Amino acid sequence: MNELRIYLFLSSETPHSLMCVKNTRLALEERVGGQFDLEPVSLLDHPELSEERDIFVTPTLERTSPHPSVKIIADLSSIRSASAAVRLLLNDNEKK
Amino acid sequence: MKKNVLVIDDDAVIRKSFTLALEDTGYQVDTAESGEKGLEMQKNARYDLIFLDLNMPGLDGTQVLQEIRKLDDRVPVYVVTAFYQQFFDRLRAIEKEGIKFELLKKPVDGERILLLTKSVLENPGCIRQEEDKDE
C-alpha cells in the first residue's frame, strides 16, 4: 500500500466524472510517479460519506495519508486544472 | 470580464443566502424562483456558473438540468440538495443519460458558497476546504 492515499469524491459516474478521474490520475503520475492510491467515490452511490467525511460539494479531493488530512475543492475537467489541484493537495507534504 | 452566476431555487431564503454570500465579490448574481424562470434567463444571458435546486414545484431540478444541457453543455451546474436517497433516485436517471452535474449539499452556509464559487470562477480553479486559504 502506498503512503499517499487520496479519495476523489464525485457526483456520479458520467463520462465527465470519469474524465476527472483520468485527469487526476495523470496529474498525480506526473507529480509522484506511481506512488499513490487514488480511490474515486460516487456520492450518488455513497451519500452517507458526505456526512462521515464532511464532503459538501463535488468534486472534492481528500488526501487522508499522510496526515494531516487535506481537502481540495477543484475543477478537474482539464489536465491543467487537475495539476493545480494536485499541487495544492500535496503542498503540505512536499519538501521545499 | 464580469462573471455571471445564476441561482435557481423556489425558496426565497436560499436565493437570498446566495446573493448575500456573493455580494462584494464582483460577480453578477441573478436569481430565479422557478425552473421555468431560470431557463428563460439562461436563454437570454450567458452564465459561468449555475446553482440549481433539485426539489421545486413545476419543473423540478432534473428536468431543468436536462433543458440547461440542451442549451449549454459547458456551464458548471451544481445541483443543490439534501443528500437523501429518494432525491438521488432522480439524479441516477440523469446519470444514466450521461448528463454532467455536480452536487452541493444542503444546508450550505455563506462561507462555503463563497469558497465554492471562487474555486469555480477563479484561477487556478481549486481551493482548500476548511482552512479557506488559496495557494
% chain B with pLDDT above 90: 77
Residue numbers of chain A with a pLDDT score lower than 70: 1-2, 92-96
Indicate yes or no: CB of A88 within 8 angstroms of CB of B126. yes
pLDDT in tens, B44-66: 999 999 999 999 999 989 999 99
Task: Look up the ipTM and state it.
Answer: 0.91
Indicate yes or no: CB of A91 within 8 angstroms of CB of B119. no
Comparing alpha-carbon positions, the chain A residue that sits nearest to B83 is A47
pLDDT in tens, A11-38: 999 999 999 999 999 999 999 999 999 9
> Taking the complete model, does pTM exceed 0.90, yes or no?
yes
CB-based contact A55:A5 (threshold 8 Å): no
C-alpha to C-alpha distance for B40 and B50, rounded to whole angstroms: 13
C-alpha to C-alpha distance for A23 and A51, rounded to whole angstroms: 26
Find chain A residues with C-beta within 8 A of B83's C-beta: 43, 47, 50-51
Which distant-in-sequence residues (6+ apart) come within 8 Å of B93 by Cβ? B62
Comparing alpha-carbon positions, the chain B residue that sits nearest to A84 is B124
Find chain A residues with C-beta within 8 A of B121's C-beta: none
Phi-psi domain of A54 (left: phi exceeds 0; alpha: psi -120 through 50; beta: other) = left
Asked if the C-beta of A69 comes within 8 angstroms of chain B's C-beta atoms, the answer is no
Indicate yes or no: CB of B130 within 8 angstroms of CB of A71. yes
- Confidence label for B86 from pLDDT (cuts 50, 70 and 90): confident
Comparing alpha-carbon positions, the chain B residue that sits nearest to A81 is B125
Query: Considering only CA atoms, which of B36, B134, B84, B100 is closest in space to residue A19?
Result: B100
CB-based contact A53:A62 (threshold 8 Å): yes
Beta-sheet strands, E only, within A1-96: 5-10, 37-42, 60-65, 70-74
Cell (9 digits) for B70: 440542451
- Confidence label for B120 from pLDDT (cuts 50, 70 and 90): very high
Strands A60-65 and A70-74: antiparallel
- Which residues lie across from A79 on neighbouring strands? none
Comparing alpha-carbon positions, the chain B residue that sits nearest to A71 is B129
Find chain A residues with C-beta within 8 A of B129's C-beta: 56, 60, 71-73
CB-based contact B133:B39 (threshold 8 Å): no
Average pLDDT for B83-102 = 88
Backbone φ and ψ of B5, nearest 5°: -120, 135
Q: Where are the alpha helices (DSSP H) in chain B?
A: 12-22, 35-44, 61-71, 85-96, 110-121
